[in-house]
Amino acid sequence: MSRTLDADLSLIPPIAETIRWLAADAIQAANSGHPGLPMGCADLAAVLLARHLIVDPDDPKWSNRDRFILSAGHGSALLYSMLTLNGFITLDDLKQFRQFGSKTPGHPEIGDTPGVDFTTGPLGAGFAASVGFALAERMLSEMYFTPKFPELFDHYTYVLLGDGCQQEGISQEAASLAGHLRLGHLIAIYDSNGIQLDGATSQSFTEDVKLRYEANHWHVQEIDGHDHAAIDAALVAAKADPRPSLIVAKTVIGKGSPHKQGTHKTHGMPIGAEEIAAGKKLANWPAEPFYLPPAVAEFFAKHKDSLRALRAEWNREFAEYADKHPAPAKEYQRVVSGELPLNWKQARPEFPADEKGEGGRVSGAKVLAAFGEAIPELVGGSADLVESTKTEITKGKWTEFVAPGEYLGRNIHFGVREHAMGQICNGIAAHGGLIPFCSTFFVFSDYLRPAVRLAALSKLRTLFIFTHDSIYVGEDGPTHEPVEQLAALRCIPNVNVFRPADANEAAYAFQYALARTDGPTVFALSRQNLPALDRNNLADARNALRGGYILEKDPEGLAEIFLIASGSELHLALAVAETLRAAGRKVRVVSMPSLELFKQQPESYRRTVLPQTNTKRRRCVIEAGVIDGWEGILDDNGLFIGMNSFGLSGKPEVVAKHFGFTVDSVLDKLAEAGF
């Protein structure tokens, strides 16, 4: 199937003017928005839309469609104007730009608008995600179609980015990896207009972007971003080159605004009704707001027919492929649907009781490998930390590492690029067909927090696996000892954080994450050994699927002390409970691997686990982190035993003792608090 359309270039000028003024009118009607990029990039958008972007508004999720990501998401009026012409949304939708509940919010968001491929806003995030889209395309093509039908899965990822995206450091990380992996189906268009919000880019940005991308092994072209023939030729050349491509398009920001084009005054505010009227008059364009020329409407009616025909052609080719190769075709259809294999939960390993146990990262690795063997679409890697995080899938299909030009694998060397790694995995998840995971030390989750937030906002099934979860890291010292990271991630809406206390809790945590389709899951796994609890004498670990549960119940249900803990501190809580019971106290131990998931349970269940407190029935939380996030669990009568400072360097057991994570210290604190 040809990936270039046959629209005559003579049709491009009125399409470009339509996009330019539709965007300007939408922003003016809302009295809010960023007209500079849409007006300046209208020519680029027109050529891309009419000649290159293969999508079908009748099937917005068609798996072999091209993807278009507006990394400079503030210019959303450009994308919405394109989607209006292509039939994904209506002119009435465009007229509701930036209004509450509309399909045209301030920045593009997955789920709000048909045809939007990625939620963009933070500059550079969309560009990094585009690397994930392009990598997913290559991996899926190799897994299911190459060498039998290589042309059957061959779409492109287009991304439009601006000066702000280039200045954010994440773009360098992403570009470096994309160039290394030779992602030839990634085409980036750089709106190089020399202006940003505060004025000329020369105030802070004078690097040679062309040389930077060439050094990263990209194919780079420089063009006049208003020359339609040059734009088209550059896109054709980009498709022909095996490297990722950057098209540096020199544009005029706010082009068409008689008195403001080329200045920062068009960047972040409406240009005004009078300026729009004057611009339309100079362009010989009707003054009517939201004017859609009949010739342009007619072109796109026929254009949609052409796009439908291309998808129908692809469907016929896929049917031929499925007839000849039914097994991979069936599996491909399953993975792009997002459904997991039948009986995949049976792959969950079960761990026997073991007093010595193993590190959470080790048991987590075993769980990941077991599920990976059953779920071939589970892919990912680490930020140069596989030896430490243990996140390599060694069983099942495609166990190799992907490499430049070789994508028949599922393990990814991200390099030391945490910022980009998270957004690349989000791009893989948003592309569809693969379930991505990424890993690093828990303290470096700070580098990935924007990606976790965007995954939560976009409801992406991305797995963030963090190891070395607490001050028990020890000798590496406070720079590597997470203290506030649990709280920082727990406070993000729609994120579930799991800090399992043993291998079986970890197994159920991964089961939960893989089954979840409406958001990301975060794992905080230990480096230190955690005993595998004897479940014959304690509650079944499957209760971890409810976030919190009674691990060790007081027989009469008359507990006066409720010890609540996660991770390694749960074992400390069990030891404390044993000592308290020996002294005649009535104690209940509650495991809380996921505080957020527990809070989502019905109140009746939560009250069963943690009855209402009073002066004689009190709760104590033990966790090697800060207190934030435990609101609603602890009250005025409660006690928190945790961290209120950074850690220290030393042997793990010495550091733990210093900060009070010993049986004697916990008992002393309980006594001091009047328990």
Please give the mean pLDDT across all residues of the chain: 96
The pTM of the whole model exceeds 0.95: yes
Q: What angle do CA 433, 436, 440 make, to 5 degrees?
A: 170
Buried b / exposed e along 54-65 (16+ C-beta atoms within 10 A): bbbbeeeebbbb
pLDDT at 450: 98
Nearest-angstrom CA–CA distance, 407 and 340: 22
Task: Please give the structure tokens belonging to residue 594.
Answer: 């996921």
Q: Which of 30-34, 348-352, 382-386, 474-478 has the lowest mean pLDDT?
A: 474-478
pLDDT at 616: 85
Task: Please give the structure tokens belonging to residue 340.
Answer: 């997991």
Nearest-angstrom CA–CA distance, 30 and 104: 11
Question: Contact at 8 Å (CB) between 93 and 103?
Answer: yes
Length of the chain, in residues? 675
Q: Is 418 a catalytic residue?
A: yes
Largest Cα separation within the chain, whole Å, is 91
pLDDT at 120: 97
Q: Which of 358, 392, 418, 569 is catalytic?
A: 418
Question: Contact at 8 Å (CB) between 527 and 469?
Answer: yes
Q: Beta strand pairing status for 186-192 and 195-196?
A: unpaired
Nearest-angstrom CA–CA distance, 17 and 279: 11
Amino acid at 91: L
Output the DSSP codes for 317-350: HHHHHHHH-HHHHHHHHHHHHTPPPTTGGGG---
In terms of Cβ atoms closer than 10 Å to its own Cβ (0-12, 13-18, 19+), residue 289 is middle
In degrees and rounded to multiples of 5, residue 145 shows phi and psi of: -125, -40
pLDDT at 3: 76
Chain segment 238-296, per-residue pLDDT in tens: 999 999 999 999 999 999 999 999 999 999 999 999 999 999 999 999 999 999 999 99
Nearest-angstrom CA–CA distance, 497 and 114: 30
Which element (helix H / strand E) includes 672? helix 663-672
Which residues are 530's β-sheet partners? 358
Q: Quick one: average pLDDT of 83-87?
A: 97
Phi-psi region of 433 (alpha: psi -120 to 50; beta: other; left: phi over 0): left
Domains of the chain: 9-310 (3.40.50.970), 344-532 (3.40.50.970), 546-672 (3.40.50.920)
Task: Compute the half-sphere exposure of residue 97: CA atoms within 13 Å on the CB side of its CA.
Answer: 30
In degrees and rounded to multiples of 5, residue 357 shows phi and psi of: 70, -160
Q: What percent of the chain has pLDDT over 70?
A: 100
Question: Contact at 8 Å (CB) between 40 and 32?
Answer: no
pLDDT at 607: 95
3-state secondary structure 453-494: HHHHHHCCCCEEEEECCCHHHHHHCHHHCCCCHHHHHHCCCC
Q: Quick one: average pLDDT of 49-59?
A: 97
Contacts of 149 (CB under 8 A, 6+ apart): 317, 321, 325
Band (615; pLDDT cuts 50, 70, 90)? confident
